[in-house]
Structure 1
Amino acid sequence: MKSDLVEINVDLLVRGDRAVQVRDHNTGKTVWLPLSQIELTRADEDERGWVVDLPEWLAIEKELV
């Protein structure tokens, strides 16, 4: 079964009550993502880096994939 989740390495720029602004490590693209749709965790290898798991449809909509 194909997973509909995408994992992206990001820098956390702004954290609001309902959304976060992140910068994609690969593309440099900056986007806002709703906290209700994502899971945000610290990356193990880099204290500043974060990993965001989000639905594939949202990654496509935000042009992250």
Structure 2
Amino acid sequence: MHENMEHLIELPQDRVQEGLHAALGYFVEYMERPRDANEVLKDIQQSVPVEMLPMLF
């Protein structure tokens, strides 16, 4: 890496925040992994809860 590169993410100083950041990292890795045909067939489409609609639009 380049020496003068700025950090894109500030690491949390709080243990709780550190745990949340780690959990989010694991979740993103899990979501980005390739899925096999069995998992794809088990997917069930679900409607978005009404409360979340403002976030989507």
How does the TM-score come out when normalised to structure 1? Answer: 0.18
Higher helix share: 2
Higher strand share: 1
Q: Which has the higher contact order (CA 8 A, sep 6+)?
A: 1
Larger Cα Rg: Structure 1 or Structure 2?
A: 2
